[in-house]
Structure 1
């Protein structure tokens, strides 16, 4: 596909229709299914941070403004259109990871102990008990044990 083809495709893109078309991906089951599918590819850190955002989004304590940031980041992760397509090896998920990390640090004050614990428990189910054996997860995001 040439650059002109991409420009044409972008010009024809109707964001509202695309969001409506993929709205079901915002469900918990669809999000977790996609995350599980790509967890090994995107790695421990991006998966954990995505889960932090997901559980912070679900928390009634998280304010709407933070939830909008989270929805944008998780939407970018799960919806099929990206700046850099996911099928491109290595760099395909780099933009997704950057968006996720940016969002985490923007809503950090809303990532409480309950959110950390929920993400930790899900990570154990995905990667096993020793998912952080290489120390990828920042200490501030680890749940108190």
Structure 2
């Protein structure tokens, strides 16, 4: 059953977003963090239309809530629902995920976690 992300827009704030990322960086994994950062940096871009911002804020609002369909503290599967919601949002607003957005996200991830294996090998 799809999750109506518009119900979660109210839950989003920059403060909650960064707190969630810092507190759960290791547990969420690079893939989930990358998608969250793509959405975050896309919504910061003034060229992103208002309707796309609503989609993004809904997905990020779902991400920052401590209680969701699959609790984030559940081993191995805790971020599955968050990743699904973010993936659906990304499919909807793919045009807003520019190379610049991806570079900003990669820079933040590298700052926190070190370069990805393919980046360190010069492949990415």
**TM-score band, normalised by shorter chain:** 0.7 to 0.9
TM-score, scaled relative to structure 1 = 0.69
Where structure 2 has 5 or more consecutive residues not aligned to the other structure, the ranges are 1-6
Largest Rg, 1 or 2 = 1
Given candidates 18, 23, 26, the residue that maps to 2:13 is 26
The number of residue pairs the alignment matches comes to 114
Where structure 1 has 5 or more consecutive residues not aligned to the other structure, the ranges are 1-14
Which residue in 1 is equivalent to 2:117? 133
Instruction: Find runs of 4+ consecutive structure 1 residues off by over 6 angstroms.
Output: none
Given candidates 49, 65, 73, the residue that maps to 1:63 is 49
The answer to which structure, 1 or 2, has the higher relative contact order (CA under 8 A, 6+ apart) is 2
Are 1:37 and 2:19 matched, yes or no?
A: no
1:134 CA drift (Å): 5.7
SS in 1 for 2:20: helix
TM-score, scaled relative to structure 2 = 0.80
Contact residue 46 and residue 101 of structure 1 kept, 8 A: no
Which residue in 2 is equivalent to 1:46? 32
Structure 1 residues 10-25: aligned runs within 5 Å: 19=10, 23=11
Given candidates 74, 82, 98, the residue that maps to 1:96 is 82
